[in-house]
Amino acid sequence: MNNSVRPRVFVTRDMPQPAIDRLKEFAYVDLWPAFPAPEKHELLYHVSQADALLCMLSDPIDEEVMAAGKKLRVIANYAVGYDNIDVAAATRRNIAVTNTPDVLTETTADMAFTLLMAAARNLIAADRFTRDGFWIAWHPLVLLGHDVSGATLGIVGLGRIGQAVARRARGFGMRILYTSRHRNPAAEAELGVEYCSLEELLQQSDYVSLHTPLMPETHHLIGAKELQLMKPTAILINTSRGNVVDQEALTAALQDGTIGGAGLDVFKEEPISPDDPLLELSNVVVAPHIGSATIETRTKMGMMAAENIKAVLEGRRPPNLVNKDLYSSPSK
């Protein structure tokens, strides 16, 4: 089919080739070539020509972007979350918004537990210690960390990823507490997790892992008050959204020993500034938002986004629709 009559999809970052190939089967693909995200004026230009937009969680898709997309019919977010998109504005403009749920559950849970283990055992500091030539002898007091086996893990948000983290924690013989918007008796029976309030969880846990979506009620859910409730040896893990935590309060708590450490894959602003004081701290393990960064998972995410786009362009309800009011029935 001639490109001039094919629908046009603007993809804001390169992704695994199978997903690009799938898009090319039914559309002309306008792929952003640079490593950094397109700036606002560049995004507006490319969206103005697009029938579909495949964007990343770091791309702010607001009313201005949608207004530029005169032909825009679908915004496919390459993520589970979609707080970067003004969904209400999209709905008003009859633009479908889709996401990529389920496929990154296990991968993100792996990352959360990786951060937990690395922070607990001072792995990053140990790596530097060894590479920098400080390992001149074995010593009983060098790089002491804390046990994970038998410790208490508090999970904030027992959704799919939270439950996947709980399954991993069971293998370490951990006591598992959880708090969530809704109590989950089925998960309690299956995973042996114990329900409690956020305050109780913070007071009792050796490790706290955050798995709640970012919403108005979860913005800065963990702030100075909550950090004060935690044990001075406790470690906070965040693979959810950066603004679930008050980053300034966390930095202060890590600086003054209010808590023992943190493992972070997400931040209030991404990318985090190299000058951020958080990065000066030795009791923090940081990663550049790579919770879903495996070849297998990122490929599945791309394929799912492509199928969502294809469905909308063909006049069908996409499999992973966020603004469900656009379609009066599942068959639409």
* pLDDT tens, position by position, 270-282: 999 999 999 999 9
Is residue 41 flagged as an active site residue?
A: no
Q: Which two structure tokens, joined as six digits, stand for 65?
A: 């972007």
pLDDT at 43 over 80: yes
- Give domain 3-102+295-326's CATH number out of 3.30.910.20, 3.40.50.970, 3.40.50.720, 3.40.50.261: 3.40.50.720
* pLDDT (average), residues 181-199: 97
Tens of pLDDT, residue by residue over 48-95, are: 999 999 999 999 999 999 999 999 999 999 999 999 999 999 999 999
22, 211, 241, 298: which one is catalytic? 241
Q: Where are the domains of the chain?
A: 3-102+295-326, 105-286
What pLDDT is attached to residue 5? 82
46, 73, 211, 289: which one is catalytic? 289
Rounded to whole angstroms, what are the CA distances from 135 to 104, 138, 229, 281?
A: 38, 7, 36, 21
* pLDDT (average), residues 2-14: 85
Is residue 270 flagged as an active site residue?
A: yes
pLDDT at 177 over 70: yes
Residue closest to 188 by CA, chosen among 176, 201, 205: 176
270, 280, 296, 314: which one is catalytic? 270
Altogether, the residues listed in the chain come to a count of 332
Query: What are the φ and ψ backbone dihedral angles of 116, each rounded to 5 degrees?
Result: -60, -50
Identify the band that residue 223 occupies on the pLDDT scale cut at 50, 70 and 90. Answer: very high
**Which residue carries 């695994």 as its tokens?**
16
What pLDDT is attached to residue 327? 84
pLDDT at 2 over 50: no
- Cα distance between residue 283 and residue 72, in whole Å: 46
Identify the band that residue 25 occupies on the pLDDT scale cut at 50, 70 and 90. Answer: very high
**Which residue carries 């006049």 as its tokens?**
315
pTM comes to 0.92
What pLDDT is attached to residue 278? 98
* pLDDT (average), residues 207-234: 97
Number of helices (H), then strands (E), belonging to the chain: the values are: 12, 12
pLDDT at 328 over 80: no
pLDDT at 331 over 50: no
Task: Note the CATH number of domain 105-286.
Answer: 3.40.50.720
| Cβ contact 11:33 at 8 Å | no
Domains 3-102+295-326 and 105-286 share a fold: yes
